[in-house]
Amino acid sequence: MLDEFSLIKSIEPKEQRHQELIKGIGDDAAIYSTENNFEQIVCMDTMVEGVHFTKATMTPYHIGWKALAANISDIAAMGGYPDYYLVSLAMPAEWSGDIKEMYRGMEDLSALYQMDLIGGDTTSTKNGLVVTITAVGHTDKRRHYLRSSAKPGDQVFITGYLGESAAGLALLQKEIDIKDQYARRQLIESHQKPMPQVEAARLLGKIPCRYAVNDISDGLASEANEIAEASGVTITINYQSLPVSKPLMFLEPSDRKQFMLSGGEDYQLLITAPEENSEELIEIFQQHHINLTKIGIVTEGCAEVYLIDEDNKTLLKKSGYNHFNSNEE
């Protein structure tokens, strides 16, 4: 298996050449100043057939939607608003009839944000579709949110609900079963048509304070560890505080816990904010009918994440919680 984390470390540039570069590698997207009142944001995300999706669980429309959603989510996690995107496809011949549907999925999502598709590349390949998207966005000057901004005393928040996308995938793969048709539909929709949290990210800007933000693309355990590492702090999450969506109530508690802690592709935002701003923050999210839940705290300590579940406090590793080998954890 590839170790992406050590690879990123090994390719990280030794020097920064542009003074106007605010953040390059090491966060969800890159930001650079353009000498006006905005900062430009650029990110890039790849989905590979057989690794990130298969035709068995995703239609071409959904693949297009989700590939773009992952990029918009990265822009949102920087506090930005998405403006443009570019699409590169390495495409096997058998996919050529599906490409329009894939672009339709991207178009429908991009229309919600008035994004322009501004370029890309299309090449053939013998094996497996590879979809790479670059998104470009902007944020008001100095209103970007880095992973490295968390400080002891901060509170930890999550938007929306976690685990729905992973549960939807498990349903599609018949690893779990839920009889309730409404719950089934919602979970599968969460997996196939996830919504990036652009509005939530912009709402943070209404209360100008210090935020660390990560989007939940690889699961809460992984994302919380990334903030803890980048900020050099300890994060403690209270499992009982995590909001549970109605469809997840139908699951076995152990399945639910695994999906909520380790399930990826929810594209919710994990946020840390100073305690003195917390009340106002919760209030403004309530006013705009966007769920925001306090789930933990930031303290001094090693770059670690702890999970409190009733009376148990355990280390929550980047690899996450897996009930199949929870004895080993």
- Binding site feature residues for Mg(2+): 28, 45, 74, 121, 215, 218
In angstroms, give the least distance from the CB of 218 to a copy of itself: 12
Q: Using an 8 Å Cβ cutoff, are 45 and 87 in contact?
A: no
Residues that bind a copy of itself (CB under 8 A): 1-2, 4, 7-8, 10-11, 13, 16-18, 21, 24-25, 29-30, 32, 34-38, 40, 42-48, 50-52, 83-84, 86-91, 93, 96, 99-100, 103, 107, 114-128, 130, 132, 134, 136
| Residue 35 or 310 with smaller CB distance to a copy of itself | 35
Nearest distance in Å: CB 211, a copy of itself = 20
CA atoms in the 13 A half-sphere facing the CB of 64:
21
User: Residues marked as binding?
Assistant: 28, 45, 52, 74, 103, 120-121, 147, 215, 217-218, 265, 321
Q: What is the smallest separation between the CB atom of 21 and a copy of itself, expressed in angstroms? A: 6
Of the candidates 72, 62, 67, the residue with the CA atom closest to the CA atom of residue 113: 72
31 vs 183 by CB, closer to a copy of itself: 31
Q: Which is nearer to a copy of itself, 11 or 315 (CB)?
A: 11
Strand pairing category for 234-238 and 130-140:
unpaired
Q: Which residues are annotated as a binding site for ATP?
A: 103, 120-121, 147, 217
Produce one character per residue of 59-81: b if its CB has 16 or more CB atoms within 10 Å, e if not.
ebbbbbbbbbbbbbbbbbbbbbb
Q: How far is the CB of 187 from a copy of itself (least distance, A)?
A: 25
Minimal distance, residue 264 CB to a copy of itself, in Å: 13
- Closest CB 99 distance from a copy of itself, rounded Å: 7
Q: Which is nearer to a copy of itself, 86 or 244 (CB)?
A: 86
Minimum distance, C-beta of residue 154 to a copy of itself, in the bound complex (Å): 26
Query: 250: burial class by Cβ within 10 Å (0-12, 13-18, 19+)?
Result: middle
Contact residues for 194 (Cβ-Cβ < 8 A; gap 6+): 65, 66, 69, 73, 165, 265, 266, 267
Given the complex with a copy of itself, which of 51 and 249 has the nearer CB atom?
51
Angle between helices 253-262 and 164-172 (to 10 degrees): 120
Annotated binding-site residues for substrate read 52, 265, 321
